[in-house]
Structure 1
Amino acid sequence: MRERERAKAIPEIYLTRLLSMKGTLQKFVDDVFVAILSTKRPPPIAVRFFFDFLDDMAEKHGIDDPETVHIWKTNSLPLRFWVNILKNPQFVLDVQVSDSIDAVLSVIAQTFIDSCTTSEHKVGRDSPVNKLLYAREIPRYKQLVERYYSDIHAAASGCYQEMNSTLTELSGSFASEMNNLVALHELYKYINKYYDQIIMSLEEDSSGQKMQLAYRLQQVAALVENKVTDL
């Protein structure tokens, strides 16, 4: 009987320690999530441009379910980029991650994932501990995500011209360090796989028609085919 009581007490001790550690880290977790999901400083133009593109695609294809667009945006930035950084800070910082720290970061990364979902975060007695630890904070984090997407949507107007200017500036900055023809050929190898579909889509798209994108792509294709033997 005593052995059973002792075995039951061990998880309770661990849970107490987990809650204590969570309280110690709470401010830091809050600060990181707020920094990631803040628009006090303008988000990168690439993020605004891509989110605006997703909104346009939803409108173009008659997708009026906001949850679908939310999932698109979540999969493209928070889950594909930020979760990797939260889970693996050594990707961007000169740090070593021990096994114990890796376990902590896994819980924080999972909390961020749960905060980006649109489904209700339900927990019960049988839920894993990592789900229970931040159950109270997740609704607040969900609001941060929603506001982040909303603020970017409101600030995306005119970002096409800004993105075009940014790309032109970057292209000029690295003009002497890149072989344009080689880069073009690498892109073309991918485009060539879907060439007919891309041309058809550009010819049917109203914006593509105005900018003659199909014709421009055909010119690029002709250029690459003529130069491919020189590479």
Structure 2
Amino acid sequence: PLGDPKEGGSKMVSEIYLTRLLATKGTLQKFVDDLFETLFSTAHRASALPLPIKYMFDFLDEQADRRQISDPDVRHTWKSNCLPLRFWVNVIKNPQFVFDVHKNSIMDACLSVVAQTFMDSCSTSEHRLGKDSPSTKLLYAKDLPCYRGWVERYYRDIAKMAAISDQDMDAYLVEQSRLHAGEFNTLGALGELYQYVGRYREEVLTALERDAACRKQRLRQRLEQVIALVSSNS
């Protein structure tokens, strides 16, 4: 019998499970490939790369240059932590955040495998796999080199794009604020930012004083005025 704990029954269960697992993976393969290729493309189906992504990645490269960090894996990891691993993994694991769908336990388990593969695709370290490795890791082992190539190409393509000026970025943010006016609690967001500033007041003020662009705009003095104003009102 299939449930027999003896060697024959256990082996048969494993073979049936593996066969079904591979069949399911084959059915979903195109959808997973389309998802990964879309997320790691600078232009896909006439959708241009959002300006903030280019601006943020250039900022990270600038910080690496300023600190004389030449290791490409460090830059790769910074970018992965900022966007794919912080944002997209959360959406992949929790589609109910975006769509009106119910996520049951089976769907959660399947999406966890896709999310883990997505995270492995962004990794710069090679994962050594063997016969004792979990099946969820072995399932996409042969696809990972291709996915990692897409990630590396994505970061390279963004680096080659024309830089976004501060003026263009400011105009973009103003336009986004106009389009979504009234959708967010602005005072609530400012309150959260003020709590952060209160917790790291000296560090923030020191950083503003050291940065030439911040000194030019007198941001330290302006922030001190805000702190004094809020403290007096409190």
Query: Shared topology, TM-score over 0.5?
Result: yes
User: 1:106 aligns to what?
Assistant: 112
Return the alpha-carbon distance in structure 2 between the equivalents of residues 179 and 99 of structure 1: 34
Q: Which residue identity lines up with residue 121 of structure 2 in the other structure? A: S
Please say if 1:126 is aligned against 2:125. Answer: no
In structure 2, stretches of 5+ residues that fail to align are: none
- Identical aligned pairs, as a percentage? 51
Tell me, what secondary structure is at the counterpart of 1:148?
A: helix
Pairing of 1:14-163 with structure 2 (within 5 A): 14-40=17-43, 41-155=47-161, 157-163=163-169
Give how far 1:84 is off.
1.4
Give how far 1:185 is off.
4.9
- Out of 192, 199, 209, the position equivalent to 1:193 is 199
Larger fraction in helix: 1
Question: Could you tell me whether the CA contact under 8 Å between 1:45 and 1:163 is conserved in 2?
Answer: yes
Question: Could you tell me whether the CA contact under 8 Å between 2:117 and 2:140 is conserved in 1?
Answer: yes
Q: Which residue identity lines up with residue 24 of structure 2 in the other structure? A: M
1:39-68 CA distances to partner (integer Å, 9 max, x unpaired)?
A: 113222222222222112111222111111
Give how far 1:204 is off.
1.3
Q: Which stretch shows the higher mean deviation, 174-183 or 17-26? A: 174-183
How many pairs are equivalent? Answer: 227
User: 2:216 aligns to what?
Assistant: 210
Tell me, what secondary structure is at the counterpart of 2:58?
A: helix
1:107-158 CA distances to partner (integer Å, 9 max, x unpaired)?
A: 1111111111001133211111111111110000001111111222222612
Return the alpha-carbon distance in structure 2 between the equivalents of residues 95 and 131 of structure 1: 27
Q: Which residue identity lines up with residue 81 of structure 1 in the other structure? A: F
- Out of 4, 9, 23, the position equivalent to 1:6 is 9
- Taking a change above 3 Å as real, the CA distance of residues 90 and 56 of structure 1, as seen in their structure-2 partners, is same
Tell me, what secondary structure is at the counterpart of 1:220?
A: helix
Question: Could you tell me whether the CA contact under 8 Å between 1:188 and 1:224 is conserved in 2?
Answer: no
Give how far 1:15 is off.
0.5
In structure 1, stretches of 5+ residues that fail to align are: none
Question: Could you tell me whether the CA contact under 8 Å between 1:45 and 1:159 is conserved in 2?
Answer: no
- Taking a change above 3 Å as real, the CA distance of residues 182 and 123 of structure 1, as seen in their structure-2 partners, is closer
Q: Which stretch shows the higher mean deviation, 4-13 or 210-219? A: 210-219
Q: Which residue identity lines up with residue 169 of structure 2 in the other structure? A: M
Question: Could you tell me whether the CA contact under 8 Å between 2:121 and 2:144 is conserved in 1?
Answer: yes
Give how far 1:189 is off.
3.1
Q: Which residue identity lines up with residue 110 of structure 2 in the other structure? A: V
Question: Could you tell me whether the CA contact under 8 Å between 1:39 and 1:148 is conserved in 2?
Answer: yes
- Taking a change above 3 Å as real, the CA distance of residues 176 and 105 of structure 1, as seen in their structure-2 partners, is closer
Tell me, what secondary structure is at the counterpart of 2:41?
A: coil
Taking structure 2 as the reference length, what is the TM-score of the superposition? 0.86
Q: Which stretch shows the higher mean deviation, 212-221 or 134-143? A: 212-221
